[in-house]
Amino acid sequence: MKRITKTIGWLGLAAMLFVLPSCSDYLDRENQSTVSSTDAFKNFINFQGFVEELYYCIPESSKFYWQNSFNWGEDEIIVAGATWFYGYKIDNGDFWGWQRENDGWGAGWMDGPGNTLDQTNRFNKRFWPLAWYGIRKANMGLENIERLSDATPEEKNLVKGQLLFFRAWFHFQLMTYFGGLPYIDKVLPADQKLDLPRLTYQQTALRAAEDFKAAAELLPVNWDDTDAGKRTLGKNQLRINKIMAYGYLGKNYLYAASPLMNWSSTGSKTYDADLSKKAAEAFATLLQMSESGKTHHKLANFSEMSSVYYTLNQGMRVPGFPEAIMQSPAYDGGATRWGLNEQYVAGVLFNGGSTCFSPTANYVTYYGMANGLPIRNAEQADPESGYDPTDPWKGRDPRFYKDIIYDGVKMIQGISATREAHRYANLFTKGSYRDENNGSRTGYLNGKFIPRTTNYDDNGHNQSHFIHLSYMRLADVYLMYAEAALHAYGNPQGAYPGYISAVEAVNKIRRRAGVADVNAKFLGSKEAFMGELIRERAVELSFEGHRFNDLRRWLLLTERPYTLKTAHDFDRAPNGKVANLKERIILERRFNSKHYWLPLKVVDVSMYLAFPQNPGW
């Protein structure tokens, strides 16, 4: 199916472009007199043009710069000395580094300088300024919705549904990182003092839930099936729809139910069962629509999973179909060629031109065995699972072979006049792919987003190779449903009435990959099953930007072994197998309770007493 590679593409009136450097600037602006109510809101095409700018406010975390850090859990480690990446700062406990005020390089995808609404420049798509701008713009649209007189009821519902979704979505994104906030549901006047208090996380989430639910009622499953959507027939996949609204309604409830958010709101470090039930209901509604064929979203065939993450020689077609539920607009395919390719490849394949992000050995171990059992200790043989440290790549979860480059994988496919010695990944200790400053620090490379022709000999990086992450995809929803049902109903067999159980949802994802069902020994208690669910999310959603927030909401970010980043040191035996495999700690992250929330900007918490800084900062 044809996907959009640059813009959403609707005829209409584009709204104002502002360079707004801090939160207070968004919440306190002069009257938007440059917008003519007779032009911007008079008919559907013009009003949709106004709404269209909200899509440009969705940041694309993987390609805001030439290379970028967006995996901040225990999942990957950056080459030594790359201090400018925010992931490097997080490893050292410097959570202030997300702010441009505290980072001269630009603070990554969360904040930075530039015209944030430049529709052609991916370098300017920064989360913090765009989220506040998006909230204000959504409120402007909602306050003017009754001016939309030249429109059908369907068109009015489409406009209002998008605005409600975006208002909730930007609040959800902000509170995910910063906790409870004021819920801004109107355009704040410039001539009044700001005094909106911070709500608890759950209070903020319940306000967002109202908007997500209202959006779900107003929006269609597929814009192609509406009269208005026929104007852009076949190009509506990125438009906000009912599936996205239910997906984020469920995710919003699940996050609010999770231990961190429940603790910050009520003092209890457990799951909130009632909110978990609400999450399970929203997810079940979405999944039942998908399974009944009412939506184009479905689980991709495992043989075609690479197309969910990248496309190659397909004219820069945006990857994701048919599993992607929500994505940002894609701005620049060249970013893959010049940045993300080299981010995952050992420098020896690019003549030394690499700033490598390598999977940690402890994270790779989460990829258990094809029989469904985990690896308990990578250094020791396990007769039960069949794991053998002298043949550690044998019999693994099939996703391991798609996502992870390990020692001996063929990396140069064609003729190589100068690097024949590097044709196969030399990831053993002191091998040519192992380099603290220019290659793998751990004994592994990330193969999830790149074809095996990504090197200077095969020249795959100069082909039409396009990486694009999804904010939400269908497999994620199945796993979130499993988590919500588990904690809503108290056991792995728990299920939203009329839908599948928590364990069946996990098994559905495993079977797609050719992995055996969750072993019976993990089905005896909620705690045992949750351990497998944590591991399953690590594997299925690896390196897609979820792990940091998962560890935070589970209250595991400060707990061993999740604070460790390790390497596997080993020799390559004469028979091609492995000898002397040992696990070595590269880094232990020294976190405490303050690190569960990012610090707010000093300029914003200085506005008034009811908007305080996060604890410990």
- Residue ending a domain, among 216, 240, 264, is 240
Do 124 and 272 lie in a common domain?
Answer: no
CA angle 279, 284, 287 (to 5 degrees): 130
Q: Using alpha carbons only, what angle is made at residue 260 by residues 256 and 264, rounded to the nearest 5 degrees?
A: 85
One-letter amino acid for residue 525 of the chain: S
For residues 256 and 209, what is the distance between their CA atoms, to the nearest angstrom?
10
The answer to whether residues 278 and 138 belong to one domain is: no
What does the alpha-carbon distance between residue 10 and residue 19 come to, in Å, rounded to a whole number?
A: 23
Task: Classify residue 88: in a domain, yes or no.
Answer: no
Q: Residue 2 — pLDDT band, cuts 50, 70, 90?
A: very low
Q: Which residues sit opposite 564 in a β-bridge?
A: 588
Same domain, residue pair 128 and 193: yes
52: in domain:
yes
Structure letter (DSSP) for residue 305: T
Q: Two tokens at 300?
A: 């991709």
Q: Which residue has the tokens 């208090």?
A: 197
Q: Indicate the residue among 214, 240, 266 that finishes a domain.
A: 240
Of 566, 570, 567, 542, give the one whose Cα is nearest residue 426. 570
- Does residue 330 contact residue 475 with C-beta atoms inside 8 Å? no
**Domain assignment present for 117:** yes
Which spans in 148-305 are helix H? 153-178, 201-218, 242-257, 259-266, 273-291
CA–CA separation, 269 and 261 (whole Å)? 8
Task: Tell me: do 57 and 199 sit in the same domain.
Answer: yes
Contact 89, 103 (CB under 8 A): yes
Task: Return d(Cα 547, Cα 596) in angstroms, integer.
Answer: 13
Task: Retrieve residue 593's tokens.
Answer: 């309770």
- Which amino acid is located at 542 in the chain? S
Same domain, yes or no: 166 and 291: no
Mean pLDDT score across all residues of the chain = 90
Q: What is the CATH number of the domain that holds 506?
A: 1.25.40
Least confident of 59-63, 77-81, 362-366, 504-508: 59-63
575 in a structural domain: no
Are residues 50 and 164 both part of a single domain?
yes
Q: What SS3 class is residue 215? A: helix
Tallying the residues shown for the chain, one arrives at 617
The total of other beta-carbon atoms located within 10 Å of residue 264's CB is 18
The number of domains in the chain is 2
Are the beta carbons of 484 and 283 closer than 8 angstroms?
yes
| 153 and 291 share one domain | no
For residue 527, the tally of other CB atoms under 10 A from its CB is 8
Lowest mean pLDDT among 182-196, 236-250, 367-381: 182-196
Residue 599 lies in a domain: no
Regarding whether 197 and 288 lie in a shared domain, the answer is: no
pLDDT in tens, 69-106: 999 999 999 999 888 899 999 999 999 999 988 875 66
* pLDDT over 80 at 271, yes or no: yes
pLDDT tens string 401-434: 999 999 999 999 998 767 899 999 999 999 999 9
User: How many CB atoms sit inside 10 A of residue 32's CB?
Assistant: 15
| CB-based contact 357:343 (threshold 8 Å) | yes
Question: Residue 388: which of 397, 400, 376, 380 has the closest Cα?
Answer: 380
CATH number at residue 180: 1.25.40.390
Mark residue 384 as left, alpha or beta (left: phi above 0; alpha: psi -120 to 50; beta: remaining): alpha
Instruction: Tell me the one-letter amino acid at 568.
Output: H
284 close to 249: Cβ distance less than 8 angstroms: no
Q: How many angstroms separate the CA atoms of 145 and 139, rounded?
A: 10
Tell me: do 276 and 208 sit in the same domain.
no
Are 208 and 282 a contacting pair, CB within 8 Å? no
Separation between Cα atoms, residue 102 and residue 276, nearest integer Å: 37
If pLDDT is split at 50, 70 and 90, which confidence band does 40 have? confident
Residue 80 CB coordination number (10 Å): 13
User: What are the tokens at 123?
Assistant: 């370098």
545 three-class SS: coil
Asked if the structure places residue 461 within a domain, the reply is no
- The answer as to whether 256 is a domain residue is yes
Task: Please tell me the distance from the alpha carbon of residue 38 to that of residue 154, in angstroms, as a whole number.
Answer: 21
At 55 the pLDDT is 94
* Token pair recorded at residue 204: 């903020």
Q: Which residue range is the domain that position 483 belongs to?
A: 242-330+468-535
Give yes or no: residues 214 and 167 share one domain. yes
* Structure confidence at residue 31 (pLDDT): 44
Question: Using one digit for the tens of pLDDT, what is the confidence trace for 108-154?
Answer: 889 876 556 666 677 778 899 999 999 999 999 999 999 999 999 99
Q: Assess whether pLDDT exceeds 70 at residue 387.
A: yes
What tokens appear for 407 in the block?
């020692």
Q: Last residue of a domain, which of 213, 240, 267? A: 240
H or E segment to which residue 588 belongs: strand 578-588
Same domain flag for 166 and 153: yes
Are both 142 and 162 inside the same structural domain? yes
Residue 496 in any domain: the answer is yes
Phi, psi values for residue 150, rounded to 5°: -90, 70
